[in-house]
A and B are shown apart, each in its own frame.
Chain A
């Protein structure tokens, strides 16, 4: 009986994470249009509902009612599989991201459940994310290949080579973080950035590398070569229509949110914020041990979402600022600049851990 309630809380958390991820992705499409409009001195969608807030619904309805067209020469099953794979892998990544500290629930006197606000806390969280993200490119590749169209294929090839190139430097940038924290679990990494002790202050170079690679992994401007309209019509989704196209576009926005969540949990302390201990003490003092803890968790979760949404905004901000890279520039940046920089970053971090840290520790003593 007692386990049931704990399980229900867990199930609610998982459903909430799933729902909120979808909701945020949905409103990212609206946000993108609004941000784009504002940066171009326009107003953006404002007809559907107050401030155009029902625009995503209208878009979804439009997508559903469009003709679902499959080219006669396309490989039918792969053509359908492509957007499914994209969507699936995009949704899988949010499972290991710690959205908040934990929810405490007292089933019997003295028996307190401590349920983390996270779908699953795997001890190889980062590896899991990397694995799933690298699977994500299959959705694009399969879709582009199955379309039987030159432009789709070119887009798919670009996506594949771009993702492979940038995953290397992304992984190398993460290694520096792993050296500092000694854990692959994202929850551990977040917990070690307690308060304002965020990784960004120790890893500024790693952060720049990571965010650049995250842009490339999400196929966002200035790295949106797989779908660049000016050269490849629509890139890998040239032949797609109706909700299949909608899935591709939607998967991109989910990826954007998930990578923003990754950036904020790896470098910006996740649900930690300066002065959290003081807030926590006040809350437990006034509301009691369990309720205070839960309210503190809620505040932390909100902080996490604020950070993530800022990075979603940053994605859009950059999109309307920078033009697209040329393909050779993309490869030059990936292989000749980011990978050596990431390696230098690892060496610097290692040196700092070996020599600088004992020095500072002995100085503080």
Chain B
């Protein structure tokens, strides 16, 4: 019974003399390996050279501010609810008079903490946020931590630095391609 038309006739023919003495096959193999010897290497020297991982890669978190430098977060708690790993916790507070320069809305997060050991970098907080306050940066990782007190990140680490704002240049692969964001972002090698 034939199930597909992809079946192949197996050949059981005797090996020819050239095949039996191995040597021509070995020479062909040696030719292939020496060709690869001189080929361009695919290695990316990671800590010195960083690859562009895509416009929407989910790296470390950032709490965005608006153009005037006010925090966008209103401590609604939707990100904490959306978070499947329960990594986010916050304490809400009411904006006092005179703090209009600091916080955009009447309510703000006095404490906003993300446990980086719990976070799975799924990006659901980013999707849940109605105020476009939290994003996962596409260009930075959470650095390796070695101490317990480095694990929980507070607002001091998460809030956006206005001197070095995080701007996402593209939102899709096509946009990134149009702006020629693809390819390796080379940095000078600082030490051997």
Contacts and interface: CB of A to CB of B under 8 A. Distances in A.
Interface of A: 35, 38-43, 46-47, 49-50, 208, 317-318, 320-322
Nearest to B29: A321
A78 to B, nearest CB: 38
Contacts of B29: 321-322
Contacts of B39: 41
Contacts of A35: 37
B20 to A, nearest CB: 9
A47 B192 contact: yes
Contact of B23 (A46, A50, A208): A208
A43 B34 contact: no
B33 A320 contact: yes
Nearest to B26: A322
Main secondary structure of the interface of B (DSSP, over half): helix
B33 A321 contact: yes
Contact of B43 (A39, A42, A322): A42
Contact of A39 (B23, B26, B36, B45): B36
Interface of B: 23, 26, 29-30, 32-34, 36-37, 39-43, 45, 192
B42 A321 contact: no
Contacts of A49: 192
B36 A41 contact: yes
14 contacts: A39-B34, A39-B36, A39-B37, A41-B41, A41-B42, A42-B43, A43-B41, A47-B192, A49-B192, A317-B33, A318-B26, A321-B26, A321-B30, A321-B32
Contacts of A322: 26, 29
Contact of A42 (B26, B34, B41, B192): B41
B192 A40 contact: no
A199 B192 CA distance: 47
B37 A38 contact: yes
A206 B101 CA distance: 89
Contacts of B192: 47, 49-50
A1 B26 CA distance: 57
A322 B192 CA distance: 35
A-B complex: 5 closest residue pairs judged by Cβ atoms? A321-B29, A43-B43, A321-B33, A39-B33, A38-B37
B26 A40 contact: no
A317 B43 contact: no
A321 B28 CA distance: 10
A323 to B, nearest CB: 10
Nearest to B40: A41
Nearest to A314: B30
Contact of B30 (A40, A208, A317): A317
Contacts of B43: 41-43
A362 to B, nearest CB: 35
A47 B30 CA distance: 29
Contacts of A38: 36-37, 41
Given A39-B37, A318-B30, A321-B30, 8 more contacts: A38-B36, A41-B41, A41-B43, A42-B43, A46-B45, A208-B23, A318-B26, A322-B26
B34 A40 contact: no
A40 B41 CA distance: 8
Contacts of A40: 36
